[in-house]
């Protein structure tokens, strides 16, 4: 029977980074009906780096055809270079397992090893979507710092934090944007108006600002989790 493994890698000792990745992976697994057979979690810093590398090797050696490896994003699979990431992804799919990038929703399967073009397209898609998400979050956090320095509120009041049906399509929306799909076309695909999509994107940035200002933001959090956390704090 195929098994699902989750791999978490953090670059420092801040536990919240680990929690952010765990939440993203758990949410993805729940949405796709996947039970996590085993979690691998490692910290990359100093002597811990070798332990993390050994843990990843151990995971790869346990893989059997049909298994799945769930990671927050493609950067979790390597630290120093793209070549490291390429080597790890190749070893995983050569073992007959799939790689699921939970933040962006992309998947690499063993079938990609027989089509070099598609393999690199999928890798490129994962990198592009991850970079787009990161850059948008960085811009939102920078805006939060500027607003705080000017003694301005980070966004709307706490009571305005409500669920949107677009929240569940966040990864898909960010991926389409990273591929330069027009907002009007994205809105058409989502069966909503372009105005509604633009308002949702603006509100998402506002909430990232609020979460950053209030110390509850971390990379990899979904908009749904950001809303949940903000409801539990006093908005500055």
**Contact status, residue 47 vs residue 111, Cβ threshold 8 Å:** no
Mean pLDDT of the region 30-58: 75
Entry pTM:
0.58
3-state secondary structure of 201: helix
Lowest mean pLDDT among 191-200, 216-225, 227-236: 227-236
Q: Which of 43 and 106 is assigned the larger pLDDT?
A: 106
Q: Which of 52-61, 87-96, 204-213 has the highest mean pLDDT?
A: 87-96
Q: Residue 161 pLDDT more than 60?
A: yes
- The pLDDT assigned to 165 comes to 87
H helices of 63-182, where? 82-94, 116-149, 170-178
Show the CA angle centred on residue 80, arms to residues 101 and 103, nearest 5°. Answer: 15
Instruction: Order across the sheet with 68-71: list the strands.
Output: 36-43, 4-10, 68-71, 98-101, 106-108
Q: How far is CA 127 from CA 124, 150, 178, 195, in A?
A: 5, 35, 10, 28
> Residue 101: exposed, middle, or buried by beta-carbon count in 10 A (0-12, 13-18, 19+)?
buried
* Domain ranges within the chain, ordered by starting residue: 4-114, 126-230
Q: Residue 66 pLDDT more than 90?
A: yes
Lowest mean pLDDT among 1-15, 131-145, 208-222: 131-145
- The pLDDT assigned to 147 comes to 62
Q: Residue 159 pLDDT more than 60?
A: no
Residue 32: DSSP 8-state: T
Q: How far is CA 13 from CA 25, 43, 72, 158, 234, in A?
A: 19, 7, 17, 30, 26
- The pLDDT assigned to 6 comes to 93
Is the CATH number 3.40.190.10 carried by domain 4-114? no
């Amino acid at each position: 029977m195929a098994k699902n493994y989750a791999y978490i890698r953090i670059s420092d000792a801040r536990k919240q980074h680990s929690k952010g990745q765990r939440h993203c992976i758990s949410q993805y697994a729940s949405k796709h009906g996947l039970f996590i057979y085993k979690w691998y979690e490692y910290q990359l810093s100093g002597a811990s780096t070798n332990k993390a590398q050994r843990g990843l090797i151990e995971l790869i050696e346990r893989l059997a055809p049909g298994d799945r490896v769930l990671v927050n994003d493609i950067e979790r699979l390597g630290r120093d270079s793209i070549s490291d990431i390429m080597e790890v992804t190749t070893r995983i799919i050569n073992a007959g397992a799939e790689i699921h990038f939970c933040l962006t929703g992309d998947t690499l399967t063993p079938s990609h090893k027989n089509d070099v073009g598609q393999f690199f397209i999928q890798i490129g898609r994962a990198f592009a979507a991850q970079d787009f998400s990161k850059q948008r979050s960085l811009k939102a956090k920078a805006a939060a710092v500027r607003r705080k320095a000017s003694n301005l509120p980070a966004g709307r009041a706490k009571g305005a934090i409500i669920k949107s049906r677009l929240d569940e399509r966040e990864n898909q929306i960010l991926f389409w944007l990273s591929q330069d799909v027009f907002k009007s076309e994205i809105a058409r695909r989502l069966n909503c108006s372009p105005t509604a999509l633009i308002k949702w994107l603006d509100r998402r940035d506002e909430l990232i600002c609020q979460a950053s200002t209030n110390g509850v933001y971390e990379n990899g959090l979904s908009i749904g989790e950001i809303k949940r956390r903000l409801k539990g704090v006093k908005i500055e």
